């Protein structure tokens, strides 16, 4: 099946640091990647939709200057949390899909646990 | 985007069949129904996807009635390792930029 790799799996850093998370589709070309955020005991919340070669589309309430998304190739999207603060601590998950074809499920990475001290 | 409603939690015992139902009253014509399993500190894992009637794979079955306003994930003979959160998603990769909204999911607890 389709494999999505997310790196790093765990990050601990000081407040004010910028953190970059990578999402790679290893065995298929992902025209669309999604970034989610999940707090403990809660469901996944969609943050933004990333399409290869174009600007990301952010969900309402998500600061685009805070969460920078780049989708430079069909196999790589990155999420950069700029000037992270403790309230940004969460579990970030990416998924990849092929938007040009119908009936394509999202394939998820294993998530990145971000802890800001 | 279609909203989904699932039971918050379910308990079962090893070896039993478990059926988890999801309601999606405003499902669109192009939408597919996809079920995922999530363990703590991991990303969701694809289980099964369907459009109508019944779909079966090596781990589960998916039952979708004719009006498609609900679906039921059936897990045969569950084991302790099936304890997880199960989500149903409704959407299509070519529609609404492929977006789907996660509901609250169903926490399944399998007991020995």
Taking only the tens place, the pLDDT of each residue in B16-71 is 999 999 999 999 998 999 999 999 999 999 999 999 999 999 999 999 999 999 99
The chain B residue lying nearest A56, using CA atoms, is B97
Residue B101 to chain A, least CA–CA distance (Å): 7
- On whether any CB of chain A is under 8 Å from the CB of B81, the answer is no
The chain B residue lying nearest A109, using CA atoms, is B43
Give the contacts of A72 (CB within 8 A, at least 6 positions apart).
Answer: A52, A53, A78
Residue B112 has pLDDT above 90, yes or no: yes
Is B98:B1 a contact under the CB 8 Å cutoff? no
A95-116 pLDDT, tens digit per residue, is: 998 877 777 788 999 999 999 9
Average pLDDT on A7-18 reads 96
Q: What percent of chain A has pLDDT over 70?
A: 97
Is B43:A108 a contact under the CB 8 Å cutoff? yes
The single residue listed with the structure tokens 């304890």 is B83
Specify burial of residue B23 (Cβ count, 10 A radius: 0-12, 13-18, 19+).
middle
Residue A2 has pLDDT above 80, yes or no: no
Test the B interface: residue of A40, A57, A105, A108 with most B CBs within 10 Å: A105
How does the average pLDDT of chain A come out, rounded? 92
């Amino acid at each position: 099946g389709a494999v999505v790799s997310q790196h790093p799996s765990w990050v601990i850093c000081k407040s004010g640091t910028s953190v970059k998370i990578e999402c790679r589709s290893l065995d298929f070309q992902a025209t669309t990647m999604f970034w989610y955020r999940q707090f403990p005991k809660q469901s996944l919340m969609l943050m933004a939709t990333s399409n290869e070669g174009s600007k990301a589309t952010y969900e309402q309430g998500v600061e685009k200057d805070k969460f920078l998304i780049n989708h430079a190739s069909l196999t790589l999207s990155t999420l950069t949390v700029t000037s992270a603060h403790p309230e940004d601590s969460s579990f970030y998950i990416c998924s990849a899909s092929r938007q040009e074809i119908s009936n394509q499920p999202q394939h998820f990475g294993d998530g990145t646990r971000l802890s800001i001290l | 985007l279609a909203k989904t409603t699932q039971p918050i939690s379910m308990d079962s015992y090893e070896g039993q069949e478990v059926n988890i139902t999801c309601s999606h009253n405003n499902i669109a014509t192009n939408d597919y129904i996809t079920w995922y399993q999530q363990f703590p500190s991991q990303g969701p894992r694809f289980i099964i996807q369907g459009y109508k009637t019944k779909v079966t794979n090596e781990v589960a079955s998916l039952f979708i009635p004719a009006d498609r306003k609900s679906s039921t994930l059936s897990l045969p003979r569950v084991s302790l390792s099936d304890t997880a959160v199960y989500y149903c998603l409704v959407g299509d990769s070519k529609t609404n930029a492929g977006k789907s909204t996660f509901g609250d999911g169903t926490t399944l607890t399998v007991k020995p």
